Every structure is written in C-alpha cells, then in structure tokens.
C-alpha cells in the first residue's frame, strides 16, 4: 500500500510509512499505536484545504505529518522534532 486508505474506523496508513519515519520495524507499529507509544491526530481541511486531511503521528519527540486528499494520495510528507500533543480529559 503506497497511499492512505479510508475505513469505517478512520484512516489506515501503511505501517511501513510510519515505521520508516520513526526508524522502527513496520511490524512493531500496531503494538506501539495500541500502547500509546505512537499517537496520532487527524485534522480536516477547510476553505482552500477542503478535501484534504492532515494526519500527524507522534513518537519519541518526533512527528510525521502526511497531507492526503480524498483518494488517499499522499500530497506531502514531512518529519520534524516535537513534543507529543496534550489531550484534555
């Protein structure tokens, strides 16, 4: 899978894409997502960005950001240092 797909649960991103960004084996990605060692955020584009989504994955002080369109094609990809996002409980 070279692009992002949509499912009833949201977006599905190939573990190879996420694993490569964080220098971890793709097989380890699902467990790290379940345990919270990798977290993610999805933002829906508005106005000029309508029809696009920004998917950001966080792990170990680093982030992977993918911008995808309605077909799941990756329009842009970037990696950068960051802190994990805070969540309100």
Residue 87 lies in a domain: no
- What total of structural domains would you count in the chain? 1
We report the CATH number of the domain holding residue 24 as: 3.30.505
Model confidence, pTM: 0.87
How far apart CA 53 and CA 58 sit, in angstroms, is 16
- List of residues 6+ apart from 40 with CB closer than 8 A: 33, 55, 56, 57, 58
Domain span holding position 68: 5-81
- What secondary structure letter does DSSP report for 27? G
**Does residue 33 form part of some domain?**
yes
> What single DSSP character describes residue 26?
G
- Confidence grade of residue 1 (pLDDT, cut at 50, 70, 90): very low
Mean of per-residue pLDDT scores for the chain: 91
């Amino acid at each position: 899978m070279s692009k992002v797909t949509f499912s009833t649960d949201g977006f599905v991103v190939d573990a190879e894409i996420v694993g490569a960004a964080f220098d971890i084996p793709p097989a380890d990605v699902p467990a790290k997502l379940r345990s919270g060692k990798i977290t993610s955020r999805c933002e829906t584009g508005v106005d000029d960005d309508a029809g696009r989504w920004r998917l950001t994955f966080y792990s170990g002080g680093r982030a992977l950001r993918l911008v995808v369109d309605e077909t799941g094609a990756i329009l842009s990809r970037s990696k950068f240092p960051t802190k994990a996002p805070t969540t309100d409980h």
